[in-house]
Amino acid sequence: MSFVDWLSTPFRYPFMVRALIAAVLVGGLSGIVGSYVVLRSMAFLGDALAHAVLPGVAAGFLINGSGNRRALFWWALGTAIAVALGIESVGRRAQIKEDTAIGILFAGAFALGIALLSTVRGSSTDLVHFLFGNVLGVSNADLVLIAAFGSGILLIVLLFYKEFLIVSFDLTLAITLRLPTALYRYLLLILVAVTVVVSLQTVGLGLMLAMLITPATTAYLLTHRLSRMMGLGALLGALSGVLGLYLSFHFGVASGPAIVLVAIGLFLVVLAVGPHSRLLSLIRRR
Amino acid sequence: MKADRRTRLDAVEICGRARGTRSAVVHEADAPALSVRDLSVSYAGRIAVSGISFDVEPGVRVAIVGPNGAGKSTLLKAIAGLLPPSSGRIEVHGHVPEGHLCIAYVPQENAVDWRFPVTVTDVVSMGRIGRLGPLRRLHAADRDIVRHALDVVNLIGLADRRIDALSGGERQRMFIARALAQEAELVLMDEPLAGLDVNAKRDVVETLEGFRRSAVTLLVALHDLGLAASHFDRALMLRGRMLGFGRPSDVFTPETLEQAYGSCLRMVPTEDGSLVVQDTACPRRTP
């Protein structure tokens, strides 16, 4: 098989074309929103959000049935936003440390989700799809949803770029500039929650965290401006999506893990030979 | 001279108001720049400072001195409007601090993540955001102000440098530039000289002279009593409560120094009768 064939074969299948579009959208979005997750040290929160979506999905599954994917999406979205706001407001008032609060909520929600799903007979395949994604099953309607919410997120990031920057970099300054800091913090969390939900079908909730932080971190190693980190993160996320899908198609690997492994591969390459590489500076010194 | 005055009047006019968005805080013309009355502030569930009363006229430079844990940071945060007073009153140009945009607070160095991917220009530009209001970008005039601020603190050459590449002194000068860009009239700095070597300290203190020309009121928490005496108009001696406020030579008496520092201070009498004092910065002992 020639290289051109290798590249073009997937396009003969409409489901692969839809999957590639989904992977590019989700990868790009994760790179942008993930930049905030990385810089604000919200990795654990992002992971918790992804897992906490499960009970919502399970409830939708029990109430609306597995066939109604649109309903599952709205259930997941509602749960994610509720959990995000819940974590933030509990973290502000509770007497316990924030990571402890997140840990309890995260594991509790995940257990509840699995418990709910286990009451349905033959639900194990669906559980696997939620956990690890099923990008090959993306429909046109799903693509429209991903694109619509993705544009919404992009618009908010563009509109409030400087406010998000200040709240993330120097909260004290934001307060003395009399910005409505609580509003922007909640808004950022909602952005992460929505990103998690629209990405669910591509990589699944088990691997969501990798997409949120890996492309953004790789970009962080390559640039020193937030705007460029976001742009580069989006490119790297999209690239991981496409390469991962090719690997999945040609070698029969599950798509979600393939995408994540490519993203981590890119990260390792940049870590080894990028501008901050110690390996490279050792070689240069020789 | 005329131009300086002009800028200052403009600043008075727009202080406390993001363009067209928030309600204005108008400065009272005859009020002091800062007035503190019977102030107590709690921090982490206990009273950190109490019984604080003093007035500062516009353009005056105040050094806040006292041992670690004396409440210097807490006092500065309360004046910035970051911590609510438990009792008493703070007025900046005749109004409570919360509505003001003209108060710049420079945190301790470790309060900021220095690995954040921003350049010196990015950080200084942040000072303009409060006046812009949401959804608006920096205008050419804002960028001119940022550039001028960088020029004043002598950081133009490092404008596009990522902040983790700055030395300690350069970091403080960047924050001073941000306060200038903010067109602040009251600047609060929490130990800007901590951890700096002698040359960097002198650079920062000389950069602070830039504020004097534009009649900015300055409150700086310090450990270096010598610099407090030589470069500041007033000293405020603090240890939970106010031990003295006035001209440094009047405040730094053997009695108040002993009260503030106890054995944490070395006093060395010199031949001409003055005292050489050294704050060894040992932690506050429980009384």
Query: Could you report the per-residue pLDDT of A149-198, keeping only the tens digit for each?
Result: 999 999 999 999 999 999 999 988 988 888 888 899 899 999 999 999 99
DSSP B95: B
More confident residue, A242 or B24: A242
Q: Which of A211, A214, A216, A210 is nearest to A229 (CA)?
A: A216
Please tell me the distance from the alpha carbon of residue B82 to that of residue B89, in angstroms, as a whole number. Answer: 14
Q: Which residue spans within chain B are E strands per DSSP?
A: 34-43, 46-56, 61-65, 87-92, 103-106, 186-190, 217-222, 234-239, 241-246, 265-269, 275-279
- As beta bridge partners, residue B39 has B52
- Encode pLDDT of B254-264 as tens digits: 778 877 877 66
Number of Cβ within a 10 Å radius of residue A158: 10
- pTM for the model stands at 0.84
- Smallest CA–CA separation between A194 and chain B, in Å? 22
Residue-level pLDDT at B2: 38
Rounded to whole angstroms, how far apart are CA atoms B4 and B183? 12
Beta carbons of B134 and A159 less than 8 Å apart: yes
A27 is written with which tokens?
A: 């990868």
Q: Quick check: B102 pLDDT over 50?
A: yes
- Interface check for B101 against chain A (CB to CB < 8 A): the answer is yes
In the structure, what pLDDT confidence band is assigned to residue B274 with cuts at 50, 70 and 90? low
- Chain A: closest CA distance from residue B259 (Å): 32
Q: What is the pLDDT of residues B185-209, one digit of tens each?
A: 899 999 888 888 888 888 888 888 8
Looking at residue B61, its pLDDT comes to 92
Q: Does the ipTM exceed 0.90? A: no
CB-CB neighbors (< 8 A) of B123 in chain A: 169
Percent of chain B with pLDDT over 70: 80
* B32's tokens: 């002091």
Q: Which stretches within chain B are classed as H helix?
A: 2-14, 72-80, 120-132, 140-152, 168-181, 198-213, 225-231, 248-251, 254-261
pLDDT of the residue at A151: 95
What type of residue sits at position B45?
A: G
pLDDT at position A285 is 64
Cα–Cα–Cα angle for B220, B224, B226, rounded to 5 degrees: 110
Residue B3 pLDDT > 50? no
Q: Do B111 and A162 touch (CB under 8 A)?
A: no
- Give the nearest chain A residue to B23 (CA atoms): A178
pLDDT computed for residue B12 by the predictor: 40
**Cα-atom radius of gyration of chain B, to the nearest Å?**
19
Which among B111, B129, B162 is the nearest to A177, CB-wise? B129
Cβ neighbourhood burial of A285 (10 Å; 0-12, 13-18, 19+) = exposed
**Can you tell me which residue has the tokens 């009273």?**
B47
Indicate the residue of A170, A178, A220 with minimum beta-carbon distance to B117. A220
**Unique residue bearing structure tokens 């550039």:** B147
B119 pLDDT tier (thresholds 50, 70, 90): very high
Nearest-Cα distance to chain A for B184, in Å, is: 11
- Other C-beta atoms lying within 10 Å of the C-beta of residue B6: 10
What is the identity of the amino acid at B120?
Answer: V
Cβ contacts of B107 on chain A, cutoff 8 Å? 170, 172
Kind and range of the H or E element at B26? none
- The C-alpha atoms of residue B35 and residue B53 are separated, in whole angstroms, by 8
What is the C-alpha separation between B116 and B238, in angstroms, rounded?
34
Angle at B267 between CA B262 and CA B268, to 5 degrees: 165
Q: Which of B189, B116, B101 is nearest to A178 (CA)?
A: B101
Residue B110: strand, helix, or coil: helix
At residue B286, the pLDDT reads 43
Residue in B116, B164, B187 to test binding to A, most A beta-carbons within 10 Å: B116
Mutation site for A-interface testing, chosen from B118, B160, B188, B189 by largest number of A Cβ within 10 Å: B118
Structure tokens at B191: 């130990």
- In chain A, which residue's Cα lies nearest the Cα of B113? A169
Task: Report the distance separating Cα B179 and Cα B177, nearest Å.
Answer: 5
- The minimum CA-CA distance between A163 and chain B, rounded to whole Å, is 8
